[in-house]
Structures are given as C-alpha cells and as structure tokens.
Structure 1
Amino acid sequence: MERNIIEELGSLALATRLKNLSERLARDVAQVYKESAFDFEPRWFAMIYALKEGEELAVTELSAMLKQTHPAVNQVANVLVEKGLAEERKDFSDQRKRLLKLSSKGQQLVKKMTAIWERIKSANDELLNEASGDLLSTLDKVESALDQQSMYERVNAKA
C-alpha cells in the first residue's frame, strides 16, 4: 500500500487536507459542467449565486458575503465580466467602488444551471450522509472558532 503522508500528519496537515479535498470536489464538478456543455468553472459558483437575484453588489460586499479576499473576488469578477456573465459600473457616490450584477447572459445561465446545481447538491448531501452527516456543522464550528481567534493567534499562543 502506498504511504499517505497527509494522513500520517493528521491535524498538522489540516489545511493541506482541506485544500486537497476542495480541489478534488471542484475537479469532479468541473467535469460535470464540461460534460453538460456549460462554460462554467466551480470557482465562479458562489459569486454567481450571490448575484442571481439581480441585485447590484459592491466587490467589498461580495468579499464579505463570500468570506473571500478582495483580490480573489476581483479576479473572479474580472472573468465574469470578460465572459459577459456580469456587468460592472462605478458607484455614482464613490467612484472607487466597483458594482457588479449579472448580465442577461448570466441570468440565462443561472436558469439553465439550476437543475445541475440541484443534482450537485443532492450528490453532496449523499456524500455527507455517507461520511456521517455532520461535516457541515463541524466546518461551521471551526469557522466560528477561527473568527474568535485566528490560526495565527493560536499558533503564537503556543510559543
């Protein structure tokens, strides 16, 4: 049997293990999108979903809503605008603020993808149930604990 260093490291490799799991899930979902003839990447999903109601949102709002960095949100926003899935404009009251909303092409894509997202959710639910069903609750607790004290602070407290 092949040695699994990440598994051996246990909690020391928590971030690596979560990243590997995330990449594995995203890779499979990307394949589903491709086979369904959707020009869509998994990393766009959260932002598209946040914009799907048609509301115009600032990049800073999206960053807070998605719990992602401003540069990461800007990067995805640029791709969505380039692909014609989102429209952007400057805020009239604050020209530094970049506002985004789904374009009509983006809204049409959301309608077309709703069924596939339901299938993905169903598959995720099935996977979580097979794995004990409490992973999302555990992730909520870990995120909440990190909101209270960052990993940086926790590591430095051990010095």
Structure 2
Amino acid sequence: MSTIDEAGLLAIASRLQRLSELIRKDGQQIYKAHQIDFEPKWFPVMYALHSRTVLSVVEIAAEIGYTHPSTISLLKELEKQKLIQSKRDKTDERKRLIQLSNKGKQLVEQMKPVWSIMTAAIADLTDTQHNLMQAIIEVEEQLKKKSFSQRAQEITEKRKTTT
C-alpha cells in the first residue's frame, strides 16, 4: 500500500487523478490499436463539437467543465492538428465560433466504433458494488450544492465555537 493509499480520503483528488491517468493511458493504447492518432485529452472538446456542431469558446468551456484557459489550450492543439476550425460570429465579432473541420468529422466517424468498445469496457470496469459512475454523479451534485472549500470552512467555524 502506497502512502497515498494510506492517506485515505485526504488523498481523494490524487487517487482520482491517478485513476484518470491510468484510464487515459489505456484509452490512448486502444486508439493506437485501432490505428487512430488521437490524444484522449482532446475527447471532451471533440465530443462536445460532435454533439453540438457549433459552439463558442465560452460554451465549450461550460460544456466540458474546464476553465477558459484550459479550453483555449486544447483548442490550439486541435487547430494545429486541423481537427477544428473557427470563424467569427456574424452578430458579435468578438466571439469565435468553433466547429469540427472535415478532417475532425472524419476522425469522429472513425472513432465511433471504438467509443462503443471503450464504453463497454468502462461499463465492465465500473460494474462494481459501489458503481463508480453513480458515485461520481452523486459527488458532483453535492459539490453543486456546496463546494469542498465551503464545507471545510463550516467545519473550521464549528470547531472554533466548540473549543
């Protein structure tokens, strides 16, 4: 058992990051096994644009739950790979509208059967007594109601009043 494992709940973010990295690494291997040149970190943007067709940068950030700077960074990578294209919004010249390029659309079509395989493999992996996906949904809902830092602040204030 590693030190991080021994830390229990205190290391939950580290454990989730570790789990995420393991799944991403395997995801990349799955893409390679299907002769697809794709970085798993691009998935949220590509999937959002596949689902919604045209989105502004701000809308993409909201859709994928990333910060604006993180989203911009991913968009630059995807633009460099020619998987997306952007144009100025006719109604608001400051706004950039992003969509999949023809190359991006072709890549999505190539990935769809692989996504089906990945979904089945993840379903098998997470089909446990405490279903990980359901737990993640529940924790995300809890965070919407009250953040981790708000909860810690309340505990701090409670402890101050009881000592």
Normalised to the residue count of structure 2, the TM-score between the two structures is 0.90
Q: 1:158 is paired with a residue of what secondary structure?
A: helix
Return the structure number with greater relative CO, CA threshold 8 A, min gap 6. Answer: 2
Dislocated runs of 4+, deviation >4 Å: none
2:124 corresponds to: 126
1:135 corresponds to: 132
Q: 2:121 is paired with a residue of what secondary structure?
A: helix
Deviations 1:101-135 (A, max 9, x none): 00011111111111111110010001111x32621
Indicate the structure (1 or 2) with the bigger Cα radius of gyration. Answer: 2
Query: Aligned pair 1:156/2:153, yes or no?
Result: yes
Contact kept, 8 Å, 1:54 with 1:102, in 2: the verdict is no
Normalised to the residue count of structure 1, the TM-score between the two structures is 0.92
1:80 corresponds to: 78
Q: What amino acid is aligned across from residue 8 of structure 1 in structure 2?
A: E
Q: Would you say how many aligned residue pairs link Structure 1 and Structure 2?
A: 156
CA distance in 2, matches of 1:110, 1:142: 30
| Structure 2 gaps, min length 5 | 157-163
Alpha-carbon offset, residue 41 of structure 1: 0.6
Q: Please give the residue correspondences for 1:30-69 in structure 2 after superposition, counting only pairs within 5 Å.
A: 30-53=28-51, 55-69=53-67
Q: Please give the residue correspondences for 1:5-44 in structure 2 after superposition, counting only pairs within 5 Å.
A: 5-44=3-42
| Structure 1 gaps, min length 5 | none
Alpha-carbon offset, residue 99 of structure 1: 1.1
Q: What amino acid is aligned across from residue 151 of structure 2 in structure 1?
A: R
CA RMSD across the alignment: 1.4
Q: What amino acid is aligned across from residue 144 of structure 2 in structure 1?
A: D
CA 86–107 in structure 1, closer or farther in 2 if over 3 Å, else same: same
